[in-house]
Amino acid sequence: MATNENTPVRTAVITGGARGFGKAFGDALARQGVHVVLVDRDSAAVEAAAAAIRAAGGSAEGLAGDVTDETRMAEVMAQAAKAHGGIDILINNAGLHSDEYGQPILKMGLAKVRRLFEVNVIGVVACTLAARPHMQGRAGASMVNISSSAAHMGGSAYGDSKLAVAGLTITLARELAPDGIRVNAISPGLILTDTIRAELPEATKARVKAMQMSQEDGEEADIVEAMLWLTSRKAKFVTGEVLRVTGGMAAGV
């Protein structure tokens, strides 16, 4: 997408960018003229996602990397910053959330719990620290972390990892405010992506939906719109917040 020659091109780095929310975030930002850098452990899939954005007229590159690898994330952020002199948006989206990591702690055992927290929590810290030097002083610089409705409901190690993400969002917002960087999070509820529609049993979907205040179905576009707002100048006075997009399922004070 072409931009006004007088308007600086923004650069966004999106972790877990090969599929799901990450890919959808990249598509949406690219349509707004943002240069998108997708990061994922799956090198073939992340390059395919970036190629699809380029084929649609957007600007994108795909970089392979594990968010828990501090050295690699520093390399990724430095490479991403080269295109337009810095990074304007960081979306910490990468996370473990499969059925394998949704089991009770007593069943998962220490190794899987450690891996869950390494990716979902330490990964956010690693990427934030790596991106910070390239975001300092950039007008409108914004980070968005992806938490979960499970963070507000208790009862699982996965939810606890996402509760830690919500807490980190407040801490990082405070620490990065002097750098002019806003930090917020999104907690998605039941979002009927293609994967969820195909894999989640109908009984489970019905049970979760019954917990919502709204009887609308949550769609991927709802999370994308929340991200676009939080990373825009419309949200310039919003930082340290966790936006729950759950149809009221995880409402609370």
Element (DSSP H or E) covering residue 15: strand 11-15
Alpha-carbon distances of 152 from 98, 109, 183, 241, 249, rounded to whole Å: 19, 23, 19, 14, 10
- Alpha helix ranges (H) inside the chain: 20-31, 43-55, 70-82, 105-117, 123-135, 157-176, 194-199, 202-209, 220-230
Take residue 73 and report the two structure tokens written for it: 């994330």
Opening angle at CA 198, ends 145 and 150, nearest 5 = 35
* DSSP at 234: G
Take residue 205 and report the two structure tokens written for it: 């979907």
Pick the catalytic residue from 158, 172, 185, 242. 158
Q: Please give the Cα distance from 154 to 119 (Å, whole number).
A: 19
In degrees and rounded to multiples of 5, residue 245 shows phi and psi of -115, 80
Are 17 and 46 in contact, with CB atoms under 8 Å apart?
yes
Strand partners, 185: 145, 242
If DSSP codes are grouped into helix, strand and coil, which group holds residue 214?
coil
Do residues 88 and 142 touch, judged by C-beta distance below 8 A? yes
Could you give the count of Cα atoms lying within 13 Å of 35 in the half-sphere of its Cβ?
A: 16
Task: Examine the residue annotation and report whether 101 is marked as an active-site residue of this protein.
Answer: no
Which residues are the active-site residues?
158
